[in-house]
Amino acid sequence: MSLFSDLPLTSAAVRRLFRHQLHLQPIRPTLPHALKSKVALYLHIPFCESLCTYCTFHRVLFSEPLARAYFAALREDIRQAHAAGWQVSEVYIGGGTPTVLVDELCTTLTLCQTLFAPKVMSVETNPNHLVPATLTALRAAGVNRLSVGVQSLDNTLLRAMNRFEAYGSAEDILPRLALANAYFDTFNVDMIFNLPGQSVASLQQDALALLEADIKQISWYPLMPTRQKTSLLRESMGAYQLKGEHKKYQQLCRVLGHRYTLSSAWCFNRNTVNAHDEYVTQNEHYLGLGSGAFSYVNHQLLVNDFNIERYIETVQAGGNRLVAGQHFTPAQALSYRMLLQLFSLQVAAVAPVDRRLRKLWSADIAALKTARMIQVADDAYVVTEQGRYLALALMREFYVAVNTLREQMRELQASEQRILLQEVE
């Protein structure tokens, strides 16, 4: 079945589709040989000073000795990838919170700069780290894109998300954003809409505050909870409902639309030249290093060990840190590429050479055109205003499927630890 053959897609249909498509085998794949072309490098730092209730990423509470050992192992992993012949055009350091140890982070950035001389070095952080000493150190180490998680400027919501104490109130955050906005070519603020308890008025106020601060880039994600997270969130924030999502998205597009351009379905940009969005969508291949990082190379999705201590030991011993993977069929790889292009709001008008794939591709394009989700523009198809929401819904479901995989990997790790404990007793 082609990805878009049953348009208009309901969220449930899309969800079923991705559950079906993303099916990691807990095998032990090995990393393919280095590609001839340059790839994006993603480095994962899984430590945070406080854990947010909605967060579906691989992260644990910060412990300095463990984090120092982890950064050292990660640098060893980078050196090994370089020695194996990997070449890198862009480096993205995400988490968790990469700035938990600025000295370790800067040593790691300098190593990347020396080995790969990438044109983009991007780092994620939290508002409590937007202070002159850290911003200056990051810039000196070559960072040209900084992304900060804010999520909301509503103090009631910040409290419910467990962010208020550790990462600051709206009144603390706003002046810090104004300071950091001037430091980097690209300064991105991560926000979330459709949070339980988030009113349309609260969202509108957030959008107006960021407009007023003239933030260079805003990634305004829809909340993407897994099934497990949805039931946990019910206790801390209230019931999650998909129903209001479309209306809230339209409202954001309306408020921000006259000053910002969409560089993807949820990324608002003041300046399209420095629009660095998700590395996943902008790079055909990416290599993920660090505990819990994903790679996508030669149509293979590969997952690193989620056990932080074991990751450190394996790297030190020069062993294999991959724990699961999936080889996409040509049809799945085509659907994945189509999804990323739709999300980036532009679909290349280049049909695959293979006859069977060309048929699938043509069916998708025809369905999208009939449903007025895309229209012809020069030598490509651009996603229409109504198509944007479909692109957002598809990407949301893709990320929910990826987040569900993360949850499964963490559960696997927890059950391994339980077995080990039972053996010791």
Ligand X SMILES: C[S@@+](CC[C@H](N)C(=O)[O-])C[C@H]1O[C@@H](n2cnc3c(N)ncnc32)[C@H](O)[C@@H]1O
Question: Site residues (CB under 6 A) for ligand X?
Answer: 48, 54-57, 94-95, 97, 124, 126, 149, 151, 190, 192, 221, 223-225
Nearer to ligand SF4, 29 or 96 (CB): 96
Q: Whose CB is nearest to ligand X?
A: 149
> Binding partner of residue 221 among ligand SF4, ligand X, none, CB under 5 to 8 Å per kind?
ligand X
- Which letter does DSSP use for residue 272 in this model? G
Min dist. Cβ of residue 99 to ligand SF4 (A):
11
> Quick count: other Cβ atoms within 10 Å of Cβ 231?
12
- Residues shown for the chain: 425
Compare residues 97 and 295 and give the one whose CB is closer to ligand X. 97
Phi-psi region for residue 166, left (φ > 0), alpha (ψ -120 to 50) or beta?
alpha
CB of 122 or CB of 332, closer to ligand X: 122
Contact between 214 and 222 under an 8 Å Cβ cutoff? The reply is no
Q: What is the CA radius of gyration of the chain?
A: 21
Of the pair 278, 364, the CB lying nearest ligand SF4 is at: 278
DSSP conformation letters of 86-129: --EEEEEEEES-GGGSHHHHHHHHHHHHHHH--SEEEEEE-GGG
- Of 149 and 325, the one with the shorter C-beta distance to ligand SF4 is 149
Amino acid in position 154: D
Residue 297 interacting entry, from ligand SF4, ligand X, none, C-beta within 5 to 8 Å by type: none
3-state secondary structure of 220: strand
Shortest reach from residue 34's CB to ligand SF4, in Å: 29
Q: Among ligand X, ligand SF4, none, what does residue 51 contact (CB within 5–8 Å per kind)?
A: ligand SF4
Of these partners, ligand SF4, ligand X, none, which one is at the site of residue 29 (CB under 5 to 8 Å by kind)?
none
* Interacting residues toward ligand SF4 by CB under 6 A: 48, 51-52, 55, 57, 59, 95-97, 126, 149
Nearer to ligand X, 124 or 277 (CB): 124
Strand (E) or helix (H) holding 44: strand 39-45
Q: How far is the CB of 290 from ligand X (least distance, A)?
A: 13
Q: Which residues, 6 or more positions from 124, have their beta carbon under 8 angstroms from its beta carbon? A: 93, 94, 95, 97, 98, 147, 148, 149
Residue 190 binds which entry of ligand X, ligand SF4, none, with Cβ cut-offs from 5 to 8 Å by kind? ligand X
